[in-house]
Amino acid sequence: MSRTYFGTDGIRGTVGTAPITADFMLRLGHAVGRVLRRNAARATVLIGKDTRVSGYMIESALEAGFASAGVDVLLTGPLPTPGVAYLTRALRLDLGVVISASHNPFGDNGIKFFSASGEKLPDQWEMDVEAALAEAPQWADSAALGKARRVDDAAGRYLEFCKSTFSQDLSLKGLKIVVDGAHGAGYQVAPSVFHELGADVVAIGCEPNGFNINEKVGATAPQALVRAVAEHQADYGVALDGDADRLQMVDASGRCFDGDELLYAVVADRLSRGEAVPGVVGTLMTNIAVEQALKARGVELVRAKVGDRYVLEELLARRWQLGGENSGHLLVLDRHTTGDGIVSALQVLQAVRRTGKSLAALLDGVHLFPQVMINVRLAVRSDWQQNATLVAEKARVEQELGSGGRVLIRASGTEPVLRVMVEARDKVLAQAFAERLATAARAA
C-alpha cells in the first residue's frame, strides 16, 4: 500500500495548502486517536511544536481531533523535537506529536510522531493512520471526550535530560560557545544547557517572532554562526535547525564540520577509550572519506536510505549505537532514542574535553571528498527514472568517474525536488558533473 500523506519524515507541506490545513489536521488527530484506541481504552498524547505562527492553528486542530476520538492531550508549547520524544517516554505516554517543518521556511509546517518509547514509528503504523483517514469518523460521545492540559515544566525537564548525557566528570568551563537556535524550537533550552554545564554562551538566532525560523540562521545557514564565532572570539559554535534535532559545528578558525565529521569524532573518542564500536550506520549521502577512515580503524559502515528514521531502523536491527547523516542528524542510542542536536553537540564537546584535542585534531587525516548537490524542482510525485535523458547522462557520468567518485540521484521526501549529488576527489569535476545531470533532469 502506498502512502498518500506521509513522506520520509512525517507529513509536511505549505500552510494553507492540503494537507497542511486546519480541517485536515482535525481529521488527522481523529484518525490517529482511533488507531491509538485500538490498543488502549484510554490514551494520552503529548503535542509539542516549533515557533512558526501556524503552529497555533495546527495545535488547536489536532487537539480537537484527538479529543473527538476520546484521547487526552498534553501540550508543551515550543519544544525541540527530541524533547517531545524524551517526555513521551519519561511520562509513559502513548504517543508524541511534533508540529514542525524542521529546516523549511516559516510558510511550511508539518507533523511527525513518536512512539511510547520515544522512537520514530514504522511505515505500517503510518499506513494504518492513512487507512483510518479514509474511513468515516466515529465521534466520541460527551462522556468519553478527551481532555487537554499544559505541561508547564516541559522545557526544564528536557534541559536536565540533556545535561545528564554529558559526563559528570567533565564541564565546559573555559570554553566560549556561540549557540544558534535558528529562531526555532531550541531557542530557550539550548543556550541554557551549555551555560549550565559551565560554558560562556553567546546566543544568536534565539529571538523567534513566528516568521523568522531558519531565516539566515541555524544549521542550514551556518555563515551566521561563522561570523558570530569570529566576532566574539569564541572557541566553538553550535547551530541547530528549526526543530533542534540536527546541528552543525564551527571552530575558532571558521571551519564548519558536517554530520559525517561530527559522527566520526564521536566514534574516534569511544575507540580511544577502548569502547567497542562494532559498526556505524550512515546513509547514501555519507562521505566516502569517512567510510574509508572508519574502515581503517576496523569499524564497518552500513548505508541506509536517506532519512534518520531509516538510520534508526538499521541501528536497531543490528543493535548498534551510533549513526547519522551528513546533514547533522546524529543518533547516539545509548544517550537518546532519536536524533538530538543538543545532545549530539555535547557528545562532540565531551570528546574535545576528554582528549584535550581540538575538534580539528580529532579529525586529522580525514579529508572529505567534495560533494556537490543541486536541487531540481519537479512536478509533485514525478518519477525521475522515467526521464531517459537523465538516466543516460547518469550512466555516462558514472563511467567517467570510475572509482574516483559516485553519483546519487533521489527524490526528496519533504519537498517536490530532485536531489542530484556528485562526489569526487576534485570539486571542479564534481560541480561540472552535477550541472550536467541537473541539466538533463530539467530536460524532462
Residues assigned a catalytic role: 102
CA-CA distance, 348 to 77, in Å (whole number)? 29
CA atoms within 13 A on the CB side of 13: 17
**How far apart are the C-alpha atoms of 158 and 187, rounded to whole Å?**
13
Residue 35: phi, psi to the nearest 5? Answer: -65, -40
Grid coordinates belonging to 114: 513518536
Q: 19 — phi, psi (to 5°)?
A: -100, 10
Residue 127's contacts (CB-CB under 8 Å, 6 or more residues apart) are 1, 3
Q: Is 150 exposed, middle or buried (0-12, 13-18, 19+ CB in 10 A)?
A: exposed
Amino acid at 184: G
Q: Is 176 exposed, middle or buried (0-12, 13-18, 19+ CB in 10 A)?
A: middle
Burial of 272 (0-12, 13-18, 19+ CB in 10 A): middle
List phi, psi (to 5°) of 342.
Answer: -70, -50
Other CB atoms within a 10 A radius of the CB of residue 334 amount to 9
Beta-sheet strands, E only, within 278-393: 279-283, 300-304, 322-324, 330-332, 371-377
* 8 Å CB contact between 373 and 421: yes
CA 202 to chain centroid: 23
d(CA 318, CA 324): 15
Type and span of the H or E element at 44: strand 43-49
Sheet of 300-304: strand order equals 300-304, 279-283, 322-324, 330-332
CA distances from 370 to 166, 201, 367 (A): 32, 32, 9
